[in-house]
Amino acid sequence: MTDEPRVVHTVVKVGGGLLSKAGALDLVIEALTAFGPRRRLVIVPGGGPFAEAVRTMFRRMKIGEDAAHWMAVLGMDQYAHALTARLPGAVLVEQEPEIAAAREAGRLPVLAPYRWVRTADPLPHSWEVTSDSIAAWLAGVLGARRIVLIKPAGGDPRKLVDPFFMRTLPPGVEHFVITADDLGQLDVALDEGGHSKRGRRARQG
């Protein structure tokens, strides 16, 4: 298979933690608006405050990991609606054919993943699985070449992703971790023609 027929080249996971850092999401929106057009992207939301609300309920109500898992994925859907409202030219999608239709229409697809993930149920129902691993699984299903994780801040690369991320990431799929403090790296990470030395430094692992 050649690279050209791919509907999605890069999965971009926009972390929900950006909402807790003043101005961070605004900067990410600006960067995606500047660097994203004409590139084969799909946006996957994090969980952010919606997932944190589930964590609180999990502790207080003892709802169990199965319920908590699906409630957290539904939280990703809520964030997807918010990102769609903020990103110029974005459209909310739920399934692969809708991603293709959005790309053909020149729109930026933002995936609300609950229906897709619920049907496939590909990952353990555990707090060790977050939107990072869900984005990695989606990258594999979509045949993407790269996944870019946008996080609010830096730190130890091994701690910036959940424990299942590397197990879920398909072989050969590049992965970058970009922080809100260094969004200039995003242009490199989204380059579909290859990546520079600067891009390799941005890539985790």
Please check the confidence at residue 2 and state whether its pLDDT lies above 60. no
% the chain with pLDDT above 90: 71
Predicted confidence band at 72 (pLDDT cuts at 50, 70, 90)? very high
pLDDT in tens, 16-43: 999 988 899 999 999 999 888 789 999 9
What per-residue confidence (pLDDT) applies to 22?
85
% the chain with pLDDT above 70: 89
Q: What kind of fold does domain 14-202 have according to CATH?
A: Carbamate kinase (3.40.1160)
Sketch the domain layout of the chain as residue ranges. 14-202
What per-residue confidence (pLDDT) applies to 14?
97
* CA quadruple 191, 195, 197, 201: dihedral sign: positive
User: Which comes out higher in pLDDT, residue 74 or 193?
Assistant: 74
pLDDT in tens, 145-192: 999 999 987 666 567 899 999 999 999 999 999 998 888 888 889 988
Residue 146, strand partner residues: 10, 174
Mean predicted lDDT score pLDDT of the chain = 88
What per-residue confidence (pLDDT) applies to 203?
45
User: With helix as H, strand as E and coil as C, how does the chain read?
Assistant: CCCCCCCCCEEEEECHHHHHCCCHHHHHHHHHHHHCCCCCEEEEECCHHHHHHHHHHHHHHCCCHHHHHHHHHHHHHHHHHHHHHHCCCEEEECCHHHHHHHHHCCCEEEECCHHHHHHHCCCCCCCCCCHHHHHHHHHHHHCCCEEEEEECCCCCHHHCCCCCHHHHCCCCCEEEEEEHHHCCHHHHHCCCCCCCHHHHHHECC
Q: How far apart are CA 83 and CA 92, in angstroms?
A: 9
**Residue reference for tokens 């994925």:** 73
